[in-house]
Amino acid sequence: MAAAFDLSGRTALVTGSSRGIGRAVAFALGRAGARVIFHGASDSQALRGAVEAARAEGIAAESRTADLGDSAACDRLASDCSGADILVLNASVQSYGHVGDFDDAEFDRMVRTNLRSSFRLVRAFGPSMAARGWGRIVSIGSVNQAHPAPRLAIYASTKAAQKALMLTAAKEWAARGVTVNTVTPGVIATDRNAKVLSDPTFADTLRESIPAKRFGSAEDCSGMVLALCSDACSYVTGADIPVDGGMSL
């Protein structure tokens, strides 16, 4: 059974993988044998440290930088990583506010980074994966795509649209060996969520609303992504799989 999860000979690009869920996913894929391309919006100690730590484990790892909100930079990333067999769309930006608080510039920033970049990368990698007869695309969604939090309307909208893009791509390439799926985390204890979870009263109330009675970890998500990227899940495509401790029930 272990052979079904073996990614030896595969190359994976994981966007936003210097920290959090993306980093955990990159390590999981690398430990399964994939060559991993870590990505960050810009050069940083976190990105360099992730690659160094991966190499210390014997993972074939390298890094690329690109501001995914910039179409030209996004396209350069795709060109630099052409030939990748696995694409994990993890990078995103979010900001909090009521609908009336957002201006056009912030709306456009989230749409460019969360949605347009997903489209450009899927468009760049999907056809070549299909031509080779094997490929895996996994987007990291959000529980907000179905149940938007009151102050995350724009972020939630981009994630809902990203999910629709994944469904369409799944139908298009299913017969050619390419699977396209969404993993939808609930409340994950990463540094992105550290500020909002720093209020103990709010955190306790939120934790009690989750059937599992705990927040998830990045590793809770990476195992599911690994499975979807392997041959073990070759017959799973177009799925939206919650990793949320039962929050969406």
Residue 169, both tokens: 């791509």
Instruction: Classify residue 216 by its DSSP letter.
Output: B
Q: Give the whole-angstrom CA distance, residue 162 versus residue 72.
A: 20
> Residue 172 carries which side chain, given as an amino acid letter?
E
Do residues 38 and 63 make contact, with C-beta atoms less than 8 angstroms apart? yes
Q: Catalytic pick from 5, 155, 173, 215?
A: 155
Instruction: Classify residue 41 by its DSSP letter.
Output: S
Active site residue 155: yes
Q: Give the whole-angstrom CA distance, residue 100 versus residue 105.
A: 13
Q: How many Cβ atoms from other residues are within 10 Å of residue 56's Cβ?
A: 9
Instruction: Output helix, strand, coil percentages for the chain, rounded to the nearest 5.
Output: 50, 15, 35
Instruction: Classify residue 126 by its DSSP letter.
Output: H
Supply the residues annotated as catalytic.
155
